[in-house]
Each structure stands twice: as structure tokens, then as C-alpha cells.
Amino acid sequence: MLMGLGIMLITFVAMEGVAWAMHKYVLHGFLWFLHKSHHTHHKHAFEWNDLFFAYYGTLAMLFFVFGSEPIDYRFWIGAGITLYGVAYFLIHDVFIHRRIRLFGNTSNVYLKALNMAHKVHHKHTGRDGSESYGMLWVAPKYFRSAYSILQKRQQGEQTWRSTPSKS
């Protein structure tokens, strides 16, 4: 069981590398015609880009099916892919793109940096010129910017609170 959880965790971490490479070289490469729906504004709930979610879901399901009688390493790989998919949905679709409105502004430096990096990625609506292709790993420059913004926000709130009201 402990070995299985280790395999699941290693798979989860490895999926960030897989997602980065797929995003940079495949989605911004030969499958751009599907991914570009994610970089353009539209009024419908689903995008062609959502097909990639189905791809990873199918891949995870196959690992579950072929690794479940008896449970072996493939089952845990499927669990790691699934866990990454849940994180992707919650962080990317819900928190960053607000496809479901659950979260407001954050004062968490990591989440702020993650959001900033993603916004920079989407600054370019074309296939070329983007940066920050991963989902969970954030370059240090975004942490510095997020920390600075949050510090200024906090100082502004402190100034606002300490200003005496005129009655």
C-alpha cells in the first residue's frame, strides 16, 4: 500500500513535466487547432481544448482497468494521473479561469504567482510567444511579483484602517 501511494505521488509530480511538454510542444505545436479555443474568448461553456481532459481521463481509466486484478503499479499510476487531473480542474479551470465561480481574490503568494504566470501565458492569443507552460510549477519571477503586489495591498489596507475617519 505504501509503495502504491509512493507510485501515485511520483506519477502526480511527473505529470507536471508531462503537462509542460505536452502544452509547449504538442498543444502549441501540431494540435494548436484544438488548443487555440482555450486562448480565444467565446461564449460557450466548453472548448475544443477540453478534449485533452477526456484523453487523460481515458489514459487513467486504462491504467485502472489493467492494473486492478490484482492491484499493481498500473493502478497507482492511474490514481496519480487522476489526482493530477483533479488538481488541474480545481486550479486551472475553477481558480484561474473561473469556469465555476468558487474562489475570490487570494492573499496566498503561491496562488497569486500561479495566476499571474497563467495570465502572462494567455497574453499571447497566437500559438507562438507564450511562456509558463506548466500548471503547478511557477518561475521565481512570478513569486517575487506576487509577493510585492500582496505586500503593497496589505500596506494599503493598513494605511486605510489607520486613517482616522472624519465625522
pTM of the model: 0.79
- All three cell numbers of 164, joined, read 482616522
pLDDT tens for 70-91 read 999 999 999 999 999 999 888 8
Q: Are 95 and 115 within 8 A, CB to CB? A: yes
Report d(CA 158, CA 102) in Å as an integer: 27
Q: Are 67 and 53 within 8 A, CB to CB? A: no
Nearest-10 crossing angle of helices 51-66, 73-88: 160
pLDDT tens for 88-140 read 888 877 887 776 666 667 778 888 888 888 888 877 777 787 777 878 888 88
Instruction: Answer yes or no: is pLDDT of 167 > 60.
Output: no
Instruction: Answer yes or no: is pLDDT of 161 > 60.
Output: no
